[in-house]
Chains A and B, each alone.
Chain A
Amino acid sequence: MKETYQTDGGHSDGHGLPPMYSIKRWLVTTNHKDIGILYIITSLFFLVMGGVLALLIRLQLWLPRDPGEGILSAFAYNQSVTAHGLIMVFWFLSPFAFGFANYIVPLQIGARDLAFPRLNALSYWLYLISGILLGVSFFQGGTFNGGWTVYAPLNLPTFTPQIGATSAVLALFIFSVAITAGSVNFLTTIHRMRAKGMTLLNMPLFTWTILLTVWMMLFAFASLLAALMILSSDRILGTTYFSGTGTQGSLLWTHLFWFFGHPEVYIVFFPALGAMAEIFQTFTGRRIVGRKWFIAALVLVTIQSFAVWMHHMFLTGINLEVKTIFMITTIGISLPFDLMVFSLIYTLLKGKIQFTTPFLFAFGGLILFIIGGITGVFLGAVVLDYEFRGTYWVVAHFHYVMVGGVTGLIAGIYYWYPKITGKMYDEFIGKISFILYFIGFNLLYFPLFIAWETPRRVFTYHPSLIPWHQIATIGAFILALSFAIMLYNFYKSLFDGEDAPDSPWKYASTLEWSLPSPPPLENWEGTPTYENGFLEFLPEKKIKTDGGETIHEK
Chain B
Amino acid sequence: MGVKQFMKNEQKTQHIETHASIWPLFISIGVLIFLLGLSGINTGSTLYSSLFVIGLLIFSISMIGFGAQRFQGPEGPFGESWPFQGVENMKTGVWLFLASDVVLFGAFIGSAIFIRVAYGWTSWTPVPDDVLPGLINTYLLLTSSFTVILALVATEKKNRYGAVAALTTTFLLGVGFLMNKGIEWNHLYHQGLWLSTNVKTSTFFLTTGLHGAHVIGGLVITLWLIYRAWNGAYLEDNRTIEYFGLYWHFVDIVWLFLFPLFYIL
Partners in one complex: yes
With contacts defined as CB atoms under 8 Å apart, how many contacts are there between chain A and chain B in the complex? 255
A238 touches B19 (CB 8 A): no
Stretch from A114-122, A387-395, A456-464 forming part of the interface with B = A114-122
B84 touches A192 (CB 8 A): yes
A121 touches B96 (CB 8 A): no
- Specify which chain B residues have a CB less than 8 angstroms from the CB of A236 in the assembled complex: 38, 41-42
Interface presence of B74 (CB below 8 A):
yes
Identify the closest chain A residue to B117 (Cβ).
Answer: A248
CB-CB under 8 A for A199 and B38, given A256-B107, A256-B111:
no
Per-residue A-contact encoding for B88-111, CB less than 8 Å = 1, 0 else? 110011001101111110011001
In the bound complex, what is the Cα–Cα distance between A185 and B84 (angstroms)? 14
- Specify which chain A residues have a CB less than 8 angstroms from the CB of B205 in the assembled complex: 239
Interface presence of A126 (CB below 8 A):
yes
A529 touches B79 (CB 8 A): yes
Per-residue A-contact encoding for B19-53, CB less than 8 Å = 1, 0 else? 11111110111011001101111110000000000
Identify the closest chain A residue to B13 (Cβ).
Answer: A543
B73 touches A116 (CB 8 A): yes
A115 touches B79 (CB 8 A): no
CB-CB under 8 A for A192 and B81, given A30-B24, A226-B104, A236-B41:
yes
B9 touches A540 (CB 8 A): yes
A240 touches B196 (CB 8 A): yes
In-complex Cβ contact of A241 among B25, B80, B111 (8 A) = B111
B17 touches A113 (CB 8 A): yes
A198 touches B79 (CB 8 A): yes
- Specify which chain A residues have a CB less than 8 angstroms from the CB of B119 in the assembled complex: 244-245
Interface presence of B115 (CB below 8 A):
yes
B100 touches A252 (CB 8 A): no
In-complex Cβ contact of A252 among B74, B81, B93, B115 (8 A) = B115
Per-residue A-contact encoding for B52-77, CB less than 8 Å = 1, 0 else? 00000000000000100101011010
Q: How far is the CB of B4 from chain A (nearest CB, A)?
A: 13
A226 touches B16 (CB 8 A): no
- Specify which chain B residues have a CB less than 8 angstroms from the CB of A540 in the assembled complex: 9, 12-13
In the bound complex, what is the Cα–Cα distance between A184 and B89 (angstroms)? 10
A218 touches B10 (CB 8 A): no
B35 touches A170 (CB 8 A): yes
In-complex Cβ contact of B21 among A114, A121, A222, A255 (8 A) = A121
In the bound complex, what is the Cα–Cα distance between A542 and B12 (angstroms)? 10
CB-CB under 8 A for A27 and B22, given A122-B28, A233-B195:
yes
21 pairs across A/B with beta carbons < 8 Å?
A: A15-B20, A116-B73, A117-B74, A118-B24, A122-B24, A125-B25, A136-B36, A140-B39, A163-B39, A164-B39, A170-B38, A184-B97, A192-B78, A192-B87, A199-B80, A200-B82, A218-B103, A245-B115, A531-B79, A543-B10, A543-B14
Interface positions of A (Cβ within 8 A of B): 14-18, 27-31, 110-119, 121-122, 124-126, 128-129, 132-133, 136-137, 140, 163-164, 166-167, 170-171, 174, 180, 183-185, 187-188, 191-200, 218-219, 221-223, 225-227, 229-230, 233, 236-241, 244-246, 248-249, 252, 255-256, 259, 521-522, 527, 529, 531, 538-543, 551-552
Having A125-B27, A199-B80, one finds 6 other A-B pairs with CB under 8 Å, namely A115-B73, A116-B93, A118-B69, A129-B29, A192-B76, A196-B79
